[in-house]
């Protein structure tokens, strides 16, 4: 494993991404917001990756109404062309108890190694190139535990009730809210028309497709634990029989039992495992 840092002064995040995207088989980006100025900087390499069969996902926040509708339309166009690209969004226009969606995670997998960027950069021209930002860049073999942990983090961001895949009708309505907020900032949120648009967005989100986990998306620890789930109900301790096997796979982990419990909880939160009582678990159906 190698860790370096970028600050957009001595080295920018854009250089790292554009070196890794063309050879990647899988890209998973989770960012608080996106702008066209950022996407155009990686667009050529995104297209190269897609044309050679790469699988790309974006998890994008809309809750600040800062993500540009233009880039959402572009991603939808690529998806509609039959390419392996998906864009899921998070929106919390109610401003209630749901936490603000604010990650900046870039995960690229070339089949042997993973390149991971974690830090302060959103997918904007400033975030990738022009602003002073701090990002840790991790390069590791896919079999290393840190890669498993980052895949798990991404999955927990993705498979939540508040995620949805926008259609063009939704993007049009979102653009109306976006333009009002960009013109008037916080003042627009108090206006009757803005509130009505937000209500319509909320209603639309209820019926839009949500991400559904598949077996191919399970990676590292999640896959290990899921593949060994007993049939029927079982106790947490039943999974400890695999402790020595897991130790051979992740020899640096000294807390295997705690890791098993953690993965069961993650699988439960993704809807793949039921937890009817404190120490009772059961697989929920079979993954496609």
Report pLDDT for 63. Answer: 84
By residue range, what is the domain housing residue 239?
215-283
- Structure tokens that stand for 200 in this block: 């319509």
Instruction: Say whether both 175 and 56 belong to one domain.
Output: yes
- Residue found by looking up tokens 């059961």 in the block: 282
- Helical pair 256-269 and 145-158, crossing angle rounded to 10 deg: 20
Residue 172: CATH number of its domain? 3.30.870.10
Q: Which residue blocks in 159-210 are alpha helix, DSSP H?
A: 168-184, 192-205
User: What pLDDT, on the 0 to 100 scale, is given for residue 198?
Assistant: 87
φ, ψ (nearest 5 deg) of residue 244: -65, -35
Q: Are residues 8 and 57 in the same domain?
A: yes
> 192 CB contacts (<8 Å, ≥6 apart)?
none
At which of 152, 177, 205 does a domain end? 205
Closest CA to 145 of 58, 239, 248, 217: 248
* Alpha-carbon separation of residue 251 from 42, 48, 243, 248, 263 (angstroms): 37, 37, 11, 5, 17
Q: What is the pLDDT of residue 98?
A: 61
Domain total in the chain:
2
Q: Do residues 96 and 228 both lie within one domain?
A: no
* 229 and 139, same domain (yes or no): no
Question: In sequence order, what E strands does the chain have?
Answer: 2-6, 26-31, 55-61, 85-90, 104-109, 113-119, 135-141, 163-164, 273-277, 280-283
CATH number, domain with residue 223: 1.10.10.10
Residue 288 lies in a domain: no
- With the CA atoms of 14, 17, 18 and 22 taken in that order, what torsion angle do they form, in degrees rounded to the nearest 10? -170
Residue 21 lies in a domain: yes
Domain end (from 185, 205, 225): 205
Q: Which of 34, 29, 74 is nearest to 55 (CA)?
A: 29
Q: In degrees, to the nearest 5, what angle opens at C-alpha 36 toward C-alphas 34 and 37?
A: 100
246 three-state secondary structure: helix
By C-alpha distance, which of 92, 129, 133, 103 is closest to 33?
Answer: 103
Same domain for 200 and 221, yes or no, is no
Contact 275, 221 (CB under 8 A): no
- CA distances (Å), 246 to each of 160, 216, 223, 226, 257, in order? 28, 20, 12, 13, 10
239 φ/ψ angles, rounded to the nearest 5 degrees? -80, -15
* pLDDT, tens digit only, all 288 positions of the chain: 999 999 999 999 999 999 999 999 999 999 999 999 999 999 999 999 999 999 999 999 998 889 999 999 999 999 999 999 999 999 865 555 567 889 999 999 999 999 999 999 999 999 999 999 999 999 999 999 999 999 999 999 999 888 999 999 999 999 998 998 888 666 776 788 888 998 999 999 999 999 999 888 999 999 999 999 999 999 999 999 999 999 999 999 999 999 999 999 999 999 999 999 989 999 998 776
Same domain, 174 and 128: yes
Same domain, 278 and 151: no
pLDDT at 190: 74
Residue 210 lies in a domain: no
- Same domain assignment for residues 36 and 141: yes
3 state SS of 222 = helix
């Amino acid at each position: 494993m190698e860790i370096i840092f970028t600050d957009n002064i001595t080295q920018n995040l854009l250089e790292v991404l554009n070196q890794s995207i063309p050879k990647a088989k899988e890209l998973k980006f989770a960012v608080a917001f996106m702008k066209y100025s950022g996407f155009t900087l990686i667009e050529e390499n995104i297209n190269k990756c897609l044309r050679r069969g790469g699988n790309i996902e974006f998890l994008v926040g809309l809750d600040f109404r800062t993500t540009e509708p233009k880039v959402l339309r572009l991603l939808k166009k690529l998806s509609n062309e039959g390419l392996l690209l998906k864009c899921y969004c998070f929106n919390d226009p109610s401003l209630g108890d749901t936490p603000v969606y604010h990650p900046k995670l870039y995960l690229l997998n070339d089949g042997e190694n993973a390149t991971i960027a974690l830090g302060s950069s959103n997918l904007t021209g400033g975030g990738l190139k022009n602003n002073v930002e701090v990002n840790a860049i991790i390069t590791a073999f896919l079999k290393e535990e840190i890669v498993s942990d980052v895949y798990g983090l991404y999955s927990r961001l993705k498979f939540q009730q508040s995620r949805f895949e926008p259609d063009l009708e939704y993007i049009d309505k979102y653009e109306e809210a976006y333009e009002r907020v960009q013109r008037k900032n916080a003042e627009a949120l108090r206006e009757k028309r803005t509130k009505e648009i937000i209500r319509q967005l909320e209603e639309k989100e209820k019926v839009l497709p949500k991400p559904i986990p598949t077996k191919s998306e399970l990676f590292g620890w999640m896959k290990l634990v899921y593949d060994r789930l007993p049939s029927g109900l079982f106790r947490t301790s039943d999974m400890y029989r695999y402790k020595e096997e897991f130790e051979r796979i992740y020899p640096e982990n000294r807390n295997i039992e705690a890791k098993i419990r953690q993965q069961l909880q993650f699988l439960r939160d993704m809807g793949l495992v039921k937890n009817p009582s404190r120490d009772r678990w059961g697989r929920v159906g079979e993954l496609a």
